[in-house]
Each structure stands twice: as C-alpha cells, then as structure tokens.
Amino acid sequence: MKTLLLVAVMMFGMNLSSKAEENLVGEFLPVEIIDLPMRVIAAVEEVYPDAELCLAAVEEEADGSEVYQLTIRDEENGIMQNVYFTDSGEELK
C-alpha cells in the first residue's frame, strides 16, 4: 500500500513540474528585488520617487523580452499598487 501511495505522489509531482514548465511564458513568477535589472529599478525610482518597492514578479513574453510586475507602496499615504515595466525600463500603462 505504501508503494502504491508513493508511486501516486511521484506521478502527481511529475505532472505538476511538467505543467510548470509548459506555463513559463505568459505567467508572472516571483523574483527577488535584488535580481531586478538596474534600469528597471532606476525607472521606478524616477517615475515613483516617493515609493518603496515591495514585491516583484517577471513574465517572459513570447518574443523573449520580460515584463516586470512591481508592487510599490507610497511612503506618504501607505497605498500599495501594482505597476508594470519592461526589461528596458519603460512603464506600461
């Protein structure tokens, strides 16, 4: 019985990992803020000088470029919002 359960768990895990590999394009995946390109960080600081960068995620586009979803918090009023930047530092609205 334990062997059957172990095989079922292994098969389920293999299915999940193959699904994750299939869905890499077109889905935002968490990324450490320290790993963001400097031009993205500089662009956020320029456009939102009073904001703190809280969270980051990256999405690979079909053409190989990357879009970053960034959660920022306004230091004055504490409001959090998501903003989007390309890997070249251009804000998407």
pLDDT tens figures, 5-49: 333 334 444 444 444 444 455 699 999 999 999 999 999 999 999
* Structure tokens given for 38: 């400097």
Confidence of residue 88 (pLDDT cuts 50, 70, 90): very high
pTM: predicted TM-score of the whole model, two decimal places: 0.71
Q: How many residues are present in the chain?
A: 93
Q: Would you list the DSSP string of 42-71?
A: HHHHHH-TTEEEEEEEEEE-TTS-EEEEEE
| Domain extents in the chain | 25-92
What does the pLDDT read at residue 68? 98
Give the CATH number of domain 25-92; options: 3.40.50, 3.40.109, 3.30.470, 3.10.450: 3.10.450
